[in-house]
Structure 1
Amino acid sequence: MNLRGIVAVSGRPGLYKLVGQNKAGYVLEGLDAQKVKIVASISSTKLASLEDITIYGEEEDLKLVDVLANIAAVKGEVPDAKADAAVLRALFVDVAPAHDQDKVYTSDMKKIVTWFHLLKDLPLFSEEAPAGLEGQEAPKADDKVDKKAKAATKPANAKAPSKAAQPAKKVNMTSKKGV
């Protein structure tokens, strides 16, 4: 499941795809049928990537990606988010048996089921996540080594361009008298 670039925006319902970024904020496109594009302010809006969201567990937190994959593997019909709280609790006992039942509220379950219904028909739901890119945007150390290796392989006899090859600078020959 590839959820890279899919975010939840605080204060807004639904999920959004991160399209880009400009000076004013993040450019987001809604995943619902309307495909609304919005610009969320960098300073006042909180974005949560679905790859980074975890659910409270009894011993350790559970990744949302794993819970969504377990929901997809459920045999039969996945209940709607408006289903009874007991139905949602029973679903979560099946798909996330190690979740902390005291800390995971029914509202959290409703939100996760709503997100599942938004994502299940998208092609990114069935494609694999890129290998080795688990939430890391920084360049790899190998990239730095490659740049140093390229600099080291530069020929020793390569010189800076001579002054004769550079265009002559224009000099302002006018003078102001009486200033």
Structure 2
Amino acid sequence: MNLRGIVAVSGRPGLFKLVGQNKAGYILESLDAQKVKVVANIANSKLSSLEDITVYGNDEDLKLVDVLANIAAYTAEVPDAKADTAKLKAFFNEVAPDHDGDKVYASDIKKIVTWFHIIKELPLFNEEAPAVGEAAEGLKVEDKAAEKKTKTVAKAANVKAPGKTAQPPKKATTVSKKGV
């Protein structure tokens, strides 16, 4: 399951795909049928990547990716997020038996079920997540290209035109008007 670039935004319902970034914030596209693009302000909004979210566990925290994979492999019908709280808790006990029942609230379970219903039809749900090494290699290649470009620009700034000598920059002078 490839959840890279899928985020939840504090104060906004649903899930969003991270499209880009500008001065004002992050450019997001909603994953619903309307495909609305919004800008989430960096100062006011908190973005949480689904890849990084964990669920409280008894011994150790459970990754949301693993919980969603268990829900996808669940043989019976996945309940709706508006179902009875007892039914949702019983369902969550089956798909995430090691979760901490005291710390994981019914609202958290409803949110996870809602997210599952949003992303289950998307093609990225069946894709394999890129390996950490592949992502790091991609960054290294981009970093090397940027470094090479920086060196080229630096060399171009130091090159003298043929037949001309470098002149020192002129000193700035200040003129003051007295008696005006």
For the aligned pair, the TM-score class normalised by the smaller chain equals 0.7 to 0.9
Q: Secondary structure at the match of 1:19?
A: strand
How far did residue 169 of structure 1 move? 6.5
> In the alignment, what sits opposite 1:124?
124
Q: Mark the runs of 5 or more structure 2 residues left unpaired by the alignment.
A: 149-157, 169-175
Distance in structure 2 (CA, Å) of the matches to 1:51 and 1:120:
15
> In the alignment, what sits opposite 2:151?
none
How far did residue 76 of structure 1 move? 2.1
Letter in 1 for 2:162: A
With over 3 angstroms needed to count, the CA separation of the structure-2 counterparts of 1:134 and 1:97, relative to structure 1, is farther
With over 3 angstroms needed to count, the CA separation of the structure-2 counterparts of 1:94 and 1:134, relative to structure 1, is farther
> In the alignment, what sits opposite 1:21?
21
With over 3 angstroms needed to count, the CA separation of the structure-2 counterparts of 1:164 and 1:99, relative to structure 1, is closer
Alignment of 1:1-179 (within 5 A): 1-132=1-132, 139=139, 163=160, 165=162
Distance in structure 2 (CA, Å) of the matches to 1:8 and 1:166:
61
How far did residue 133 of structure 1 move? 5.7
How far did residue 107 of structure 1 move? 0.4
With over 3 angstroms needed to count, the CA separation of the structure-2 counterparts of 1:137 and 1:8, relative to structure 1, is farther
With over 3 angstroms needed to count, the CA separation of the structure-2 counterparts of 1:105 and 1:163, relative to structure 1, is closer
Q: Secondary structure at the match of 1:165?
A: coil
Distance in structure 1 (CA, Å) of the matches to 2:105 and 2:92:
11
What are the superposed Cα offsets for residues 24-55 of structure 1, whole Å, 9 maximum, x if unpaired? 11000000111110001011110000000000
How far did residue 20 of structure 1 move? 0.2
Question: Equivalent pairs: percent with the same residue?
Answer: 68
How far did residue 137 of structure 1 move? 10
The answer (yes or no) to whether the contact 2:5–2:18 under 8 Å persists in 1 is yes
Pairs aligned (count): 159
Distance in structure 1 (CA, Å) of the matches to 2:53 and 2:4:
12
The answer (yes or no) to whether the contact 2:55–2:63 under 8 Å persists in 1 is yes
TM-score, normalized by length of structure 1?
A: 0.78
Letter in 1 for 2:30: G
TM-score, normalized by length of structure 2?
A: 0.78
What are the superposed Cα offsets for residues 150-175 of structure 1, whole Å, 9 maximum, x if unpaired? 9xxxxxxxxxx87563766799xxxx
Richer in helix (by share):
2
Q: Secondary structure at the match of 1:8?
A: strand
Letter in 2 for 1:57: G
What are the superposed Cα offsets for residues 103-132 of structure 1, whole Å, 9 maximum, x if unpaired? 000000000000000000000000000011
The answer (yes or no) to whether the contact 1:29–1:36 under 8 Å persists in 2 is yes
